[in-house]
Structure 1
């Protein structure tokens, strides 16, 4: 985090005109309390300050959307559909800048989510892909991840070395994102070329658990109007507190920005990423306590010599932004990408308390063994999928108005074609040792307390060359219009609508049944309209009070990585159903303190799915269920005075099944969702060169199950992290991160089956980073 302690010396610089305002106050406080204290100062300033542009020097790689003096506080969304400053946007949006990502020690998308209240990690399972599975406000969002405004299809393990900020938009967002987005969406903003700015930031990190990481972020002006920005990554590390679990990541992001004339910016970028690791599916469950077995944290129950994890991405993007006049902005972005997700992983099976048979099967009854003789047989979840996609978006922003009344309209169109080939992955029946000798493989049986996951060789995996892949093809189009109408300086209304068509087709060559019917072909072609309406009132300039209503839609087969109904994939009995419909009611307050450097937010929300898919009789599904998630969110971001810097939040979520054909399920909470979660990152500047701080994160227990909670659960926990920075000299900084300071044993997520397992979180780790800026 590059906090500007000497404001007079550093100044402020924005690389392009930006809406920078001094506002945003009290997320949880009422306007009646904070208003009088701010009114005199705020009313004395004109509305023109929202377009202030001050030139001077600033750290070269600084986030152009953040407050120059408070990097934890982001002023503007990177999404052009949100035209107002975040303080004046009538929707809950949590923006995590790269400075926060550094201070919490996160090196992956999953690690950022682990520290974000209101966003929950899920498990990769047999029916959905192993990777970045998340829930927002209680609802699945694994396919609601966007990069620079376009959906990033497929589920994989994402890196963040080329990310400027991560935006989490809360609540149904069909008007902004199209299909899905039931609980919200996540948008990653890439680091962009900066015209007129040369800099290089080189960072090297070493740490416990064989942690080695190096990144380079360089921006070079090739000519007066052409900039090249390059980000590179090398990362190798074991997982703290886990035997055998490791990963190696390599990545490059190259972007060219061309500014031939004033108001025109043309960019082209290419993103390349590879991950090679060992998948880890955690610890077994005790069916008697309905909690994870209390085994050693480092126990690994997979199969070393068989299990693997490979992720990769190659993505090219071309964009044009043209602002011919102040009142008009045009944007076009086109992307082609290829990603893959390939793994064979050993999920922890049910614990056997009896003597297994010669084939490794666990008998239903028998003589109970002592616990040190209990056994576990790892499974073999696997995926070998390739995703190719072409996406394009074009929109225009028009600002119209007269004194005291104005319109800001955003209208555009979007097209996407996504293709997924999911191959059958087979394994050989024998192991080859280092000399190529063929050895027999006994059943994979592990001792519960002392598992030995090592094979005597390597078990070969290969793609089925006889049965072709399951092929999924999705073609979608959308048109949208968003209008923000301002009635003077105090009141505004935002209206939006989006019309989408969604056409999915699935061909499964392995779906022939015993009667010899043709391979199964499924399809769903639907259209749907979503809209939103909100009103915003500003009692004083620094405070925004708002109320909002929004909708979204979930067509059948929306989760294109899903295998069947339980994972929201396409199925014969659901392909002809209309989309599920979601609506969101939200009221909130946003505002600023301390000269606009501290943002406080608060919101009450309720999401209702009126027509959830449910099985009403064997082989019959209907839209008859009702789900509801309601709660409260609080947030803080920015500076508390000159020395204290804060970022955090609190979320209470009461998510449950309201109506069901199965009366026994009514009133039961959602699976995978904690009722409470909270975090606070705080740092303190001891001197102009030394800063210390830490983060505390708390989460209540999470129940397993499918849609509604079962009895199995992982307990709640509180985790502490620490960070310290020392500016050795101008342009050289040292940072120490200690994660999970108390070495707390806790679990991220729980598998949904009747014999679940739990993802165990990393143990304590410490890293030292040296950052050189040129």
Structure 2
């Protein structure tokens, strides 16, 4: 069901049902071995092992079954792995999880958290304590207890989006105990980090907890870059251990950095030498340009400007949670307010004009077209994201005869708002070609081989002006605002038919309304485009348990991504129009949600008293109605992408003192139908140019930002009491950023258009790589631990993100740092 209007925003109530015990907990990494436990005593709740004791975890409302009994691939990244690997950001931590890649971008969130799960962009499917966290940002881990990754179509769990899976960050919350930990680190590239975590038992029913971080570092083997941030997260709970509990939390993070622009791709389709398939990799090492200039590009080469470029961000989150137990039934309400803001000027080392490799053998006058230059394209943004989300959940157990139900019912009301604009910067975007003697003199273009981040760039009123001007924000009437309202109703039920057979059902209905307020001329009325969609998603799974510690399962799940799902905070493949014209009003009515479905079958085992979790899954995730362009005025929802794959995972303790976390993922990611691409047939005499549409170059190719093979293994071994060694091995297959070909269109005097087939196809890619990390620690006293981490131990040159054009992100070099941690 859909309604749309260009003048008013519609808001209506709706239903939603949703399923599956998804967010749960992994085997603990306890210091001591656990005693024997009864694994059959509670099949519906995952427990934590701490120092040999089984401690019930506070139930997540949507967790209606243990991970073992959930018919989904669920990975839990515990804080122990985050600490052991020296991870200091969410992206850093997720690198230890197989099957997750990261995409670069151009606007919105070019360098923030943009994970791809099973080949699908999951930026809009990141949650904090079960509440969507939409804002474009780079998240910290100082206040993180665990990170839970649920893979496969999952709109039944979280609502809109979630084609490849969801990421749920669980925060550190108060416990009925008094303990603390302070850690300080120092190392290469002026790496400095201090974290603290203090939990105070205030009474028999109340506790207070506060976590904090201060972080300051340069980036190893990358010129001029730095990352600085600090944050604090206090929380208090009253009523612990009683039927009625109230929790209040606050989270603040402030960050400042010089964002990394990586390396430009070497070729464009216009200047790539040869025919057939041509791989365009980031420009690195020895390169010879079209004009015959040979030079060496060092891994430290940074094409940005340290006096112009910046990225500043702050995040404020406040949560209030109230809950009450009615016997075996719990009623919980969670309300969260979030305000995040971000501002950046971010240099893209742009290859689109052919200035990197060159387009001619010799320069033409002052036009530097023979190669060896990089245009410093300035991408800018400032803005904020604001949201209020309220979730109410009723969950627990009941029996119908001999059948046991573990259920959860809930509603969600959400209001979201984003507003953004751009800085007024003259960076050479109106110059043709981009790199000329004049643009080099203004430092809008720099040497491919010897860029200088300290170039004295200044801003002018225009590319042709000689009048200097400060960088300012665009006028208020040039800003774009998105507003959204969501109303949801969901239900989960894990039905134990017999002890060996569990049926897992659920569904969710969301009514999502969004309005985009468009930039207008000064004094004009605000222009608005509004759309409302009703989304229905469901999931069903069947679990067979040959033994209490093992399970076999099969499941089916759906997800839906409505137009304007990300509210401009990321890449919108199904965006609302950005201007009001008769054509765009027609387009608004053509739009519809994109739908994804997943099939999965797998097996799980929980061994050694829940200390070691093993899993294997085979799956297929597909979207059959992706938005595609038919012609200039028509879109169709017939695009198709299919991801097939297998996953193997292990987490926990293999032998006393030996832990492991990781796995292997194989993906067969394929674009079946990518729609059409526009070609322009130039004018002939009095006959005007014509635009014609041909099948997309993406058809049949590997899905971008996705690796076919990925492997991670993190292990830690206690050699003798107090002395531990460990490390991480990561393999990531090559990834493609995007594709292009050189098909052309011509027309004759009669207007007959002829398409000349492609003679070459460009594959922008980043190569595969192995990365190794190492760690050693020594427990100096019961309270003091010393440790050393070496990240990227072999100083491997690799790329962590691939954009569809322009550039790929260069990963940091070897970083060694030591840590002193005091626990009490």
TM-score between both structures, scaled by the size of structure 1? 0.86
Q: Which residue of structure 1 aligns with residue 337 of structure 2?
A: 336
Q: How do 1:259-408 residues align onto structure 2 when only pairs under 5 Å count?
A: 259=239, 262-287=242-267, 288=272, 289-294=279-284, 295-325=297-327, 327-350=328-351, 366-367=362-363, 374-401=372-399, 404-408=402-406
Secondary structure of 2:333 counterpart: strand
Q: Which residue of structure 1 aligns with residue 154 of structure 2?
A: 173
Q: Within 2, Cα distance between the matches of 1:538 and 1:354?
A: 61
Deviation at 1:223, TM superposition (A): 2.9
Preserved CA contact (<8 Å) 2:149 2:166:
yes
Preserved CA contact (<8 Å) 1:155 1:561:
no
Preserved CA contact (<8 Å) 1:251 1:273:
yes
Q: Which residue of structure 2 aligns with residue 67 of structure 1?
A: 49
Of residues 643, 653, 657, the one that matches 1:639 is 653
Q: Within 1, Cα distance between the matches of 2:353 and 2:326?
A: 70
Deviation at 1:113, TM superposition (A): 2.4
Q: Which residue of structure 2 aligns with residue 690 of structure 1?
A: 723
Secondary structure of 2:41 counterpart: helix
**1:232 pairs with 2:212:** yes
- Superposed CA offset, 1:24-60 (max 9, x none): xxxxxxxxxxxxxxxxxxxxx67325599xxxxxxxx
Q: Within 1, Cα distance between the matches of 2:631 and 2:136?
A: 32
- Superposed CA offset, 1:649-703 (max 9, x none): 1111111122354556432221111111110011111012011011100011001
Q: Within 1, Cα distance between the matches of 2:501 and 2:356?
A: 72
Residue ranges of structure 1 left out of the alignment (5+ in a row): 13-20, 23-44, 53-63, 357-361, 431-439
Q: Within 2, Cα distance between the matches of 1:729 and 1:747?
A: 40
Deviation at 1:285, TM superposition (A): 1.3
Q: How do 1:223-622 residues align onto structure 2 when only pairs under 5 Å count?
A: 223-259=203-239, 262-287=242-267, 288=272, 289-294=279-284, 295-325=297-327, 327-350=328-351, 366-367=362-363, 374-401=372-399, 404-427=402-425, 442-456=442-456, 460-465=470-475, 467-510=477-520, 520-561=527-568, 566=573, 568=575, 572=584, 575-576=588-589, 577-622=591-636
Q: Which residue of structure 2 aligns with residue 763 of structure 1?
A: 813
Q: Which residue of structure 2 aligns with residue 139 of structure 1?
A: 120
Deviation at 1:552, TM superposition (A): 0.6
Preserved CA contact (<8 Å) 2:96 2:662:
no
Q: Within 2, Cα distance between the matches of 1:395 and 1:669?
A: 41
Q: Within 2, Cα distance between the matches of 1:167 and 1:355?
A: 42
Secondary structure of 2:265 counterpart: strand
TM-score between both structures, scaled by the size of structure 2? 0.81
Deviation at 1:147, TM superposition (A): 0.4
Preserved CA contact (<8 Å) 2:355 2:375:
no
**Pairwise CA RMSD of aligned residues?**
3.1
**1:48 pairs with 2:41:** yes
Q: Within 2, Cα distance between the matches of 1:703 and 1:426?
A: 33
Q: 1:462 to 1:642 in 2, by over 3 A?
A: same
Q: Within 2, Cα distance between the matches of 1:316 and 1:121?
A: 28
**1:668 pairs with 2:735:** no
Deviation at 1:631, TM superposition (A): 0.4
Preserved CA contact (<8 Å) 2:266 2:280:
yes
Q: 1:563 to 1:658 in 2, by over 3 A?
A: same
Deviation at 1:132, TM superposition (A): 0.7
Secondary structure of 1:112 counterpart: helix
Q: Which residue of structure 1 aligns with residue 291 of structure 2?
A: none
Preserved CA contact (<8 Å) 1:702 1:716:
yes
Q: Within 1, Cα distance between the matches of 2:659 and 2:172?
A: 23
Preserved CA contact (<8 Å) 2:48 2:57:
yes
Q: 1:383 to 1:429 in 2, by over 3 A?
A: closer
Q: Which residue of structure 2 aligns with residue 222 of structure 1?
A: 202
Preserved CA contact (<8 Å) 1:313 1:340:
yes
- Equivalent pairs counted in the alignment come to 708
Q: 1:345 to 1:124 in 2, by over 3 A?
A: same
Q: 1:519 to 1:200 in 2, by over 3 A?
A: same
Deviation at 1:731, TM superposition (A): 1.1
Q: Within 1, Cα distance between the matches of 2:336 and 2:740?
A: 34
Q: Which residue of structure 1 aligns with residue 757 of structure 2?
A: none
Preserved CA contact (<8 Å) 2:355 2:374:
no
Q: Within 1, Cα distance between the matches of 2:486 and 2:339?
A: 18
Q: Within 1, Cα distance between the matches of 2:299 and 2:732?
A: 20
Q: Within 2, Cα distance between the matches of 1:593 and 1:707?
A: 50
Q: 1:665 to 1:70 in 2, by over 3 A?
A: farther
Of residues 188, 203, 217, the one that matches 2:169 is 188
Q: Within 2, Cα distance between the matches of 1:354 and 1:532?
A: 51
Q: Within 1, Cα distance between the matches of 2:507 and 2:790?
A: 46
Q: Within 2, Cα distance between the matches of 1:48 and 1:412?
A: 27
Q: 1:711 to 1:74 in 2, by over 3 A?
A: farther
Preserved CA contact (<8 Å) 1:161 1:232:
yes
Deviation at 1:597, TM superposition (A): 1.3
Preserved CA contact (<8 Å) 1:134 1:140:
yes
Secondary structure of 1:280 counterpart: coil
Q: Within 1, Cα distance between the matches of 2:311 and 2:702?
A: 33
- Superposed CA offset, 1:365-401 (max 9, x none): 7349999971112110111011111000001013111
Q: How do 1:56-205 residues align onto structure 2 when only pairs under 5 Å count?
A: 66-68=48-50, 79-126=60-107, 128-195=109-176, 197-205=177-185
- Superposed CA offset, 1:468-508 (max 9, x none): 42110011111001111101211010110100001010011
Secondary structure of 1:47 counterpart: coil
Secondary structure of 1:87 counterpart: helix
